[in-house]
Amino acid sequence: MSYFDAASSAPLHPVARQALLAALDEGWADPSRLYREGRRARLLLDAAREAAAEAVGCRPDELVFTPSGTRAVHDGIAGALAGRRRAGRHLIVSAVEHSSVLHAAAAHEADGGTVTEVPVDRTGRVAPDAYAAALREAPGGVALACLQSANHEVGTVQPVAEAAEECAAADVPLLVDAAQSLGWGPTEGNWSLLTASAHKWGGPAGVGLLAVRKGVRFRTVQPADERESGRSPGFENLPAIVAAAASLRAVRAEGAAEAERLRGLVERIRARVPELVPDVEVVGDPERRLPHLVTFSCLYVDGEALLHELDRAEFSVSSGSSCTSSTLTPSHVLRAMGVLSEGNVRVSLPRGTAGADVDRFLEALPGVVAGVRERLGAPKRPETAADAAPEPEPEPELVVDSLGKRCPIPVIELAKVIGEVPVGGVVTVLADDEAARLDIPAWCEMRGQTYEGEGPADRGVAYRVRRRV
């Protein structure tokens, strides 16, 4: 089985395993106690904090350990907002932040605060001038801004250093979610708060990092105790913390060489998938991206079926497609980028991935996609004009009723009938699947047709497509 979902959770690094087992024997006591076992545990905790702080690029007394990366995000945002309440109640986030950041923003809005979501381009990247505009045009004082270091779904690296400069000029602290990038290197720029999660770089699950620079106004919202500077209450999971810090140091030591090797494998996937599989859109920034991650979307494919078939072929991958989610709504990242969401596949290679595993994936993928498309009744593209069936007399306008049908069926039905209207004719697709709002315009762009927008319908939404070619 080839595990290609390191962006969700990386396999436990061998150094983490060794450190975890050793710390279970040596670090079980209460590090706040003065007897011998407590002092030994305190030495382990202090050493782990120093190692993690060195990797983050902060002082040891600026960093605390939390029970998870999500907890670090929630505590960091809540603490910064509470500490700067006098400055204002406005929060700025990018439209592609991790769901933990967006959930915290929603909670802030529910509590009476205001939020601005900064849009991204089709590569998933925030423009620094758009971030500056959000700071400048905010309704009321800005308490905090958030920007991830790199996107978790498409791998695009964000301009954190530029955003930090804009925030510093506006006297606003910047919180950076560095969960996806910290294992590959330090976060550039004059950030104010930083969060991360150990299981993303090969440490054990259940350990997060929260760094708060000296001078940043911060007030812990939850009841505090004497541990972790009062910012993360409760008994520390010392063996896991020791393993997290040890593995972070280890992956950083091997990071440059492994990043270059994995980047080459990802480049192979990015180049070969569109050659091997027709009607595919590779998404994310082709240059400014994480070295181990690539995402692509396949037209006329049910994402859940595709992932199941790849699993049967012994490849573990993930997806941002609405078709793999119980919410039946497209990934907020893909939606913000305005790219195709159906048949979405995220491949994130763990350290040590062999080139032979990538070659096997590229061999299996075309057949898997073709099989899923055939079962869904996707239209087949003729090899030449001579192979095409003769077109019937076209109608000037057609209506396709796809109400009650999930992606990618509305797009498949659109593709089947677009040739039944003359050039300049219109096909109106009636659909109540939220993914259609993203996938029909994306299909038009890929197919060279004109998307004329959406309008109300008795049920669902009417999407109008004008045949251009």
Active site residues: 323
Residue-wise DSSP of 24-88: HHHS-S-TT--SHHHHHHHHHHHHHHHHHHHHHTS-GGGEEEES-HHHHHHHHHHHHHHHTTTT-
Let me know if 237 is exposed, middle or buried by CB neighbors in 10 A (0-12, 13-18, 19+). middle
Residue whose C-alpha is closest to residue 236's, from 84, 104, 46: 46
Tell me how crowded residue 28 is: count the other CB atoms within 10 A of its CB. 12
N residues, the chain: 469
Q: Are strands 63-66 and 208-212 parallel, antiparallel or unpaired?
A: antiparallel
Cβ proximity of 258 and 183 under 8 Å: no
Please report, as a single letter, which amino acid is at residue 129: D
Residue whose C-alpha is closest to residue 119's, from 134, 139, 102, 135: 134
**Helix axes 355-376 and 238-276, enclosed angle (nearest 10):** 60
Residues 6+ apart with CB under 8 A from 85: 143
Cβ proximity of 249 and 186 under 8 Å: no
CA angle 74, 159, 78 (to 5 degrees): 15
Please report, as a single letter, which amino acid is at residue 316: S
d(CA 57, CA 410): 49
Residue-wise DSSP of 385-409: GGGSPPPPPPPSEEEEE-TT--TTH
Residue 31 half-sphere exposure, CB side, CA atoms within 13 Å? 23
Please report, as a single letter, which amino acid is at residue 24: L
How is residue 343 written in tokens?
Answer: 């048949």
